[in-house]
Structure 1
Amino acid sequence: MDTFLVQNTSDLNGCIEISGSKNACLPLLAAATLLKNNITFHDIPNICDVYSFLDILKLLKVDCIYKNNDLTLNFDNFKATSLVDSLMKTLRASYYLIPTLARNLNRFEISLPGGCGFANRPIDLHQKVFASFGLETYIFENKLVCKHSELHGTTFEFPYKSVGATVNAILMASFIDDVTTLINISNEPEIMCLIKYLKSCGIDITYLDSTVVIKGKKKTLNITNFTNIKDRIEAGTYLILGALKGNPLTIKYCPIGDLESLFKLFDYLNVKYEINDSNVTIYKSEIKKSIVLSAGPYPMFPSDLLPILVSYLGSSNLVHVVSDKIYPTRNQYVEELNKIGYTIVIKNNDIIIFPKKNDYEKNIIESKDIRGGASLIIGAINSNRKIKINGINYVKRGYSNLLNKLRKIGVNINEEN
């Protein structure tokens, strides 16, 4: 199990360049596979989840060349097949390949997707989406069995916002030669990036107020280049770290427009920052106001940033209450933060953050998911003590060149195997 050792760290100074978005690039790779679009994607992050997805694509005989954040995909030897493999269990986004298999096979099986285990994350909504297009699915022996005789367009209204189900619905609609209307889709920037790519490939997509109308095409344009968007969660993580320890910290290529909710929070808390084009310089800022905040679907405060925010709020002498409307039980990191001096209580899915204690019980804590692990790293930096964080492989799934970026700004951190 890989481990980070964080030791006494004073205020941080320097510059961090934000990488391409993890949550945007995986749907892009799935879309290119669906369309068999030989292409080079730019600004693909150097993270474990990307490598896992590429390993799965290789099972479909896709040629992948990844160098200097450019990823070239070639589908000349593509061969559709069932994906019953342990690789599928490591990555929840593997289910984005179901539309590709449905386009090429009338019956196939796929191992149930894996990913972070911080909450019960069923795929029943995905199954309802697929059913609306004529794709029958059922679970048997930890596999999703899929079959169809004829696929068709649909009108589907999402009962709640779901990024993953929205991606799969858009991908299904894009290759079926029919009209599909999707209502109450997720509005995340990552979804807009996917729509932009599909439109550049010639798919007729009209988006308005959480509704999208798609006129699918069997034959599409073969574009050769597309640039991924910047990672708003990575940017938000380092911005929060800057508010905690920046002296100052500059975040380059920050997707400012995608982080409006975070900057509104910073303004409320009187966090000092300066914006220059896409660069944000942020200064260590003491928290002098209590907050009550709920994370939820975009444009609300991002669920993926809530664990990181908790580490920052726990550094204050005030009481704060936060909750997560998307993953209300994503709180495994709380127990670990409490081991290193935080005082946090969970009550009815509310996370109540009290002033931080000076003493602490342990110096070894464990990461159990990507964002919770990032929260623990920030908590360890804030502790000004020697803290060992196990399970750091989770965090590597979502943060590109994490160790080097932290060292560059002055974090005293090392990796142990």
Structure 2
Amino acid sequence: MSKEVIKVRGGKMLTGEVDISGAKNSAVALIPASLMASEGEVLLEGLPEISDVTTLMSLLNDLNISTDLDGTNLRIGAEEAENMPLPNTKVQSLRASYYMMGAMLARFRKCVIGLPGGCPLGPRPIDQHIKGFEALGAKVTNEYGAMYLEAEKLTGAKIFFDVVSVGATINLMMAASCAEGRTILENVAKEPEIVDVASLLNNMGADIKGAGTDTIKINGVEKLHGTRHSIIPDRIEAGTYMIAGAIAGRNYRVNNIIPLHMESLTSKLEEAGVKIETGDDYMVITRPEKYKPISLKTQVYPGFATDLQQPITPMLFLAEGVSKITETIYPARFRHVDELRRMGAQIDKNSGTALIYPSMLQGAEVYASDLRAGACLLLAGLSADGITTIHNVGHIDRGYTDIVSKLQSLGADIWREKL
């Protein structure tokens, strides 16, 4: 992790405008999907400037795939791609490395890849991915901590997901794009990032229908080609900045968002008393004089995103009453609670639920256990009395483009220091 800390001095009002970057959860699938283009170049526009992007570029380079990153635009040339085992150290640095499985299986019919890493959010098995690959005709084995996938050919199949999974939906959508015949995926995830990946694949020559619904139908094609694709805005980054505005904003504008993607958060912020003016691709947010307590439950899209469960917690300490969070996606996703308690927070947690009591937060030394926990602690620092020092900021840099500079431009007293 980075040998830096982020420091926040609380109590500053935020005002001005912030532009949201491209979606992390799209980018980490779009980049692997690009290796499926056996002809021509793929140009991805508007990528977030985060460490996960550079890690995935490095994985492509290991396969003899050319990458050229110019700001937020990435050119990928995969015509000369070679199938090589992928190094465990890189794969273990991000969960989404598992998308290399579906893409490589589609392109090469086999791959060897280390088990994925990423944020420690408790059990997140890839059994639905494996079940789907096997249904398409692949043999999947786990040997010495690496996954071996191989298929003489991929054949379309009807696959029902026992658990709604974004990762498995995207992985099987990629693999099935180059399978013989038709594949029907049922009980799939509906997230906007899935629609974004399907759009890229279709522009590359795939035949995918139904992305964004609970059934996706894919007619396999022989090969895919290059294209140009603009990524959607990051709804989790947008949500994080919306919450920052809810905590400390006055005439505070969030640009480059798709309001439809934010509805579950918007409704909860308004329920808490936050004033929100919505435009075609922006929102203006003003904190209320008094906050009302709320109850929320994380759910698959279009429900309240689990990735915003941690970031919204600091706002709830400002409410005049007890709020309740129920985490249904990753019940262990409460590792930020102990760090918030260092700041004087009153929270009771028990088996996937947390009760948040009104609390006056104090600056403290805290440690980010994962990406969204880091965002939570940073937002907590905005309202805390004194200076909050956040360690393990490499977690934050995995998912947020230049978050310190963006918050500084809004008036936050925030900076980085080397240890």
Shorter chain as denominator, the TM-score bin is over 0.9
Match of 1:388 in 2: 389
For residues 282 and 222 of structure 1, the distance between their equivalents in structure 2, rounded to whole angstroms, comes to 40
Deviation at 1:229, TM superposition (A): 0.2
2:32 aligned partner, one-letter code: A
* Contact 1:133/1:152, CA 8 A, preserved across alignment: yes
Give the drift of 1:8: 3.5
Percent sequence identity over aligned pairs: 29
* Alpha carbons 1:261, 1:300 under 8 Å: kept: yes
Answer yes or no: is 1:275 the counterpart of 2:278: yes
> Which residue of structure 2 lines up, in the alignment, with residue 29 of structure 1?
31
Distance 1:116 1:92 in 2: 7
Which residue in the other structure is 2:365 paired with? 364
2:176 aligned partner: 173
Aligned equivalent of 1:215, options 216, 219, 231: 219
Structure-1 residue corresponding to 2:85: 82
Which residue number corresponds to residue 403 of structure 2?
A: 402
**Larger mean Cα displacement after TM superposition, 147-156 or 240-249:** 147-156
Query: SS where residue 381 of structure 2 aligns?
Result: helix
Cα distance in structure 1, aligned partners of 2:278 and 2:103: 42
Measured in 2, the distance between the counterparts of 1:241 and 1:215 equals 44
CA RMSD, aligned part only? 1.6
Amino acid of the residue matched to residue 218 of structure 2? I
Alignment partner of 1:197 is 2:228: no
The match for 2:20 is: 18
Note the 1:141-290 alignment, pairs <5 A. Answer: 141-207=144-210, 209-223=213-227, 225-290=228-293
The structural deviation recorded for 1:62 is: 1.2
Q: Residue 90 of structure 1: SS of its match in structure 2? A: coil
Q: What is the match of residue 311 of structure 1?
A: 314
Letter in 2 for 1:356: S
1:104 shift after superposition: 4.5
Residues 131/246 of structure 1: CA separation in 2 closer, same or farther (3 Å cut): same
- 1:101 alignment partner in structure 2: 104
- Residue 373 of structure 1 is matched in structure 2 by 374
Contact 1:82 1:101 in 2 (8 A): no
Describe the SS at the equivalent of 2:101: helix
Distance apart, 1:39 and its partner CA: 1.7
Decide whether the 8 Å contact of 1:204 with 1:216 is kept in 2. Answer: yes
> Aligned equivalents of 1:285 and 1:57: distance in 2?
47
Give, in angstroms, the shift of residue 120 of structure 1: 1.7
Secondary structure of 2:117's partner? Answer: coil
* Structure 1: distance between partners of 2:104 and 2:153: 14
Q: Please report how far the alpha carbon of residue 263 of structure 1 lies from its aligned counterpart in structure 2 after TM superposition.
A: 1.5
Displacement of 1:287: 4.8
Q: Secondary structure at the match of 1:273?
A: strand
Give the conservation status (yes or no) of the 8 Å contact 2:46–2:72: yes
Given residue 94 of structure 1, which amino acid in structure 2 is its aligned partner?
Answer: S
Structure 1 unaligned spans of 5+: none
Instruction: Describe the superposition over 1:264-300 as per-residue Cα deviations: whole angstroms up to 9, x where unpaired.
Output: 2123223112123212110012454322210110000
Distance, in Å, in 2 between the alignment partners of 1:263 and 1:306 is: 13
1:125 correspondence with 2:128 = yes
| Residues paired across the two proteins, number | 414
Question: Contact conserved, 1:287 with 1:313, CA < 8 A, in 2?
Answer: no
For the residues of structure 2 that align with 1:94 and 1:390, how far apart are their CA atoms?
25
Equivalents in 2 of 1:388, 1:268: separation in Å? 31
Structure 1 residue ranges (4+ consecutive) displaced by more than 4 angstroms after TM superposition: 104-107
Once the 2 structures are TM-superposed, how far is the Cα of residue 105 of structure 1 from its aligned partner? 4.2
**1-structure distance, mates of 2:290, 2:85:** 53
1:330 corresponds in structure 2 to 333
Q: C-alpha offsets along residues 309-360 of structure 1, whole Å, 9 cap, x if unaligned?
A: 11111222310111121111111001101110211111221111011046x5
Q: Quick one: which amino acid aligns to residue 47 of structure 1?
A: I
After superposition, what is the alpha-carbon deviation per residue over 1:167-197, rounded to whole angstroms, capped at 9, x for unaligned? 1110011011210000011000000111112
Name the CA distance, whole Å, in 1 between partners of 2:291 and 2:75.
Answer: 49
1:343/1:357 contact within 8 Å kept: no
Distance 2:52 2:289 in 1: 35
Structure 1 contact 158–183 (Cα < 8 Å) conserved? yes
Amino acid at match of 1:180: T
Q: Which runs of 5+ in 2 are unaligned?
A: none
* Alpha-carbon offset, residue 103 of structure 1: 3.4
Shift of 1:248: 2.3
- What is the rounded CA distance, in whole Å, between the counterparts of 2:33 and 2:105 in structure 1? 13
Change over 3 Å in CA distance of 1:8–1:243 after alignment to 2? closer
1:42-53 to structure 2, matched below 5 A, reads 42-53=45-56
* Greater shift in the superposed pair: 229-238 or 2-11: 2-11
